[in-house]
Copies of this chain bind each other. A is one copy, B any other.
Amino acid sequence: MKYKNFPMVPKVVFGRGCFSQLDEILMPKRKSDEAPFIFLVDDVFENDNWILSRIPLLFNDQIIFIPTDEEPKTDQVDALVEKIRQDATQMPSGIIGIGGGTVMDIAKAVSIMLTSQGSSADYQGWDLVKNEAIYHVGIPTISGTGAEVSRTTVLTGPDKKLGINSDYTPFDQVVLDPELTKGVPKDQWFYTGMDCYIHCIESLNGTYLNAFSQSYGEKAQELCDEVFYNGNLTTEEAQDKLMMASWHGGMSIAYSQVGVAHAMSYGLSYLLGTKHGIGNCIVFDHLEGFYPEGVAQFKKMKEKHGIVLPTGLCANLTDADFDTMINVSMGMDPLWENACGKNWKDTITPEKLRSLYEKM
Taking Cβ atoms with an 8 Å cutoff, the residues of A that contact B are 1-15, 17-18, 21, 25, 173, 176, 178, 210-212, 215-216, 218-219, 222-223, 237, 240-241, 243-245, 248, 255
Contacts and interface: CB of A to CB of B under 8 A. Distances in A.
A178 B214 CA distance: 15
Nearest to A223: B215
24 contacts: A2-B21, A3-B13, A3-B21, A4-B13, A5-B11, A5-B12, A5-B21, A6-B11, A6-B13, A7-B11, A8-B12, A14-B210, A14-B212, A14-B255, A15-B212, A15-B255, A210-B240, A211-B240, A211-B244, A212-B244, A215-B219, A215-B244, A215-B245, A215-B248
The 3 closest A-B pairs by CB, nearest first: A211-B240, A3-B15, A10-B10
Nearest to A10: B10
Nearest to A212: B14
Residue with the highest number of chain B CB atoms closer than 10 Å, among A11, A14, A210: A14
Given A211-B240, A215-B248, A8 B10 contact: yes
A160 to B, nearest CB: 28
Contacts of A222: 218
Contacts of A245: 215
A226 to B, nearest CB: 10
Nearest to A211: B240
A255 to B, nearest CB: 6
A113 B163 CA distance: 41
B215 A218 contact: no
Contacts of A2: 21
A210 B178 CA distance: 12
A3 B8 contact: no
Given A5-B173, A215-B219, 6 more contacts: A1-B17, A6-B12, A14-B255, A215-B223, A215-B244, A219-B219
A76 to B, nearest CB: 29
A211 B11 contact: no
A11 B241 CA distance: 25
A2 B114 CA distance: 33
B211 A237 contact: yes
A127 to B, nearest CB: 14
Nearest to A2: B21
Given A178-B211, A240-B211, A18 B6 contact: no
A240 B13 CA distance: 28
Contacts of A18: 3
Contacts of A10: 7-10
